[in-house]
Amino acid sequence: MNQAYNQLVERFNKLYRFQHLSSIASWDQSAMMPSGGNQARSEALAELSSLMHELITEKQVGDWIHEARENSDDPETLSSIREMERSWRKASVMPAELVKAQSLASSKCEHAWRTQRTENDWQGFSENLKEVVKLAQEEASIRATASGVKGYDAMLELYEPGMTSSELDVLFGNLKSWLPDTLQTVVDQQASDTLIASQGHYPTENQKALGLEVMELLGFDFNHGRLDVSVHPFCGGVSEDVRLTTRYNEADFVESLMGTIHETGHARYNQNLPEDLRSLPLGSYRSMGVHEGQSLFYEMQLGRSPAFLQLIRPLIVKHLANGQEDERFSQSNLEKIYNRVKPGYIRVDADEISYPLHVILRYEIEKALIEGDLKVDDLPQAWDEKMQAYLGLSTGENHSTGCMQDIHWPMGAFGYFPSYTLGAMYAAQQFATVKRQIPDVDIQVAAGNLEPVFSWLKENIWQQGSKLETHELYTQATGEPLNADHFKQHILNRYLKG
């Protein structure tokens, strides 16, 4: 009997229960809590976070990990220990004083950013950001020394275990070699399209009813989750109680519907992680990129496909046009609306072709910042140069739609951005495999039979949790590790005419 491993399991079970409470309290803070409760809730969550940090960083946890590994030859147990050690090292390598300094600096920067962005106050923002970047560089150095990798790679490991900047350079270099030209070609082709705009009046209750019905179609388990509203849509909670949010614009239904479908992809992954392992790191999601791969599979690969739009079109007509046919909701027009390509300044509003270029721009800049090759004062110029090179747009002095638009850097989340485009690639590779293994999948989807698709995802991705490293997971599921060609083929097939 492996007593040390049993002690680890008991400790991580306790941490999972605390994480459960933290997740629900955080969801409530974003979705339901009255504003007057923010200070008290923040303090309570900070206290809980501190308690969890103490539980995972105690020296005996490291001793248990070493002893448990020495006394085990079972492959799954060894994989479980590997993931426990990953979690333990991630937390224990950081000095408490640096964690506290980062919390204070990022809190100050993020809070001020909310006003400074609106006022385009780069000077004020940059002063706060300098401290956040300095502390992030310290963190990167500490993590790099502990793990023997480059500074930025050590930060990337927090979100994408096993991924390196060298590998990202190859993957993103592939995208940069063809995406800008493809973007312009598609824009030119779509210029001649006759499109009926999606604007109108769509009451929130109608949009919500539509979203709930589509979520049910997509397999969401309402016995273990719910849909609410927040300023920024997200998926939170825990596997047993998934909380997802969306937002509604009564003048345009497009954002809410696809936002709901996107978050449902995240939710389905959470709801279908291996039930017997959920309280352990082994039963958690593999990476942020893999998680994003599920939401983008739902939104981009499935949700915007002609077959799925054909399936949900009657629901759109039912809820948004009182059951009366409307040219806005014709099959042809829905496909044009949901696959419209137009370069813009804002990442979160970007189309499927533009979006990776927004991410590559941020990746290259944040890597340079962390490695000391770019100073904060030079960030706006670097941003504008890359925007012109990749998207043909100049931000000029409008920093609010340039380098001040995202919350990630004020929060100190360096290394996160690549996950978005990795997710798009994972999603494309997954759907390419589904199409190969289920040749008539489009016919089945249009007819409302989505179960074969869900079964493939559940068996090959969701139920695997973190049993395998990411490259092993995709090699087992799709026959090869991540291959950017699948994303390229998807884009060419969907958007290029003739």
The ranges of the chain with pLDDT < 50 are none
Residues carrying an active site annotation: 263
Listed by start position, the domains of the chain span 1-92, 155-498
Structure tokens at 209: 């009813």
Give the residue carrying structure tokens 């948004």.
320
Q: CA torsion angle for 106, 296, 362, 123 (degrees, to 10)? A: -50
Give the per-residue pLDDT at 1.
Answer: 61
Residue 493 CB burial class (10 angstroms; 0-12, 13-18, ≥19): exposed
Give the per-residue pLDDT at 127.
Answer: 96
Query: Residues 195, 333: contact at Cβ < 8 Å?
Result: yes
Structure tokens at 480: 């090869």
Give the per-residue pLDDT at 278.
Answer: 94
The answer, as to whether pTM is greater than 0.85, is: yes
pLDDT in tens, 53-84: 999 999 999 999 999 999 999 999 999 999 99
Give the per-residue pLDDT at 76.
Answer: 95
CATH classification number, 155-498, choose in 1.20.140.10, 3.40.50.300, 1.10.1370.30, 3.40.50.620: 1.10.1370.30
Please state, rounded to an integer, the average pLDDT across all residues of the chain. Answer: 95
Give the per-residue pLDDT at 107.
Answer: 83
pLDDT in tens, 167-185: 999 999 999 999 999 999 9
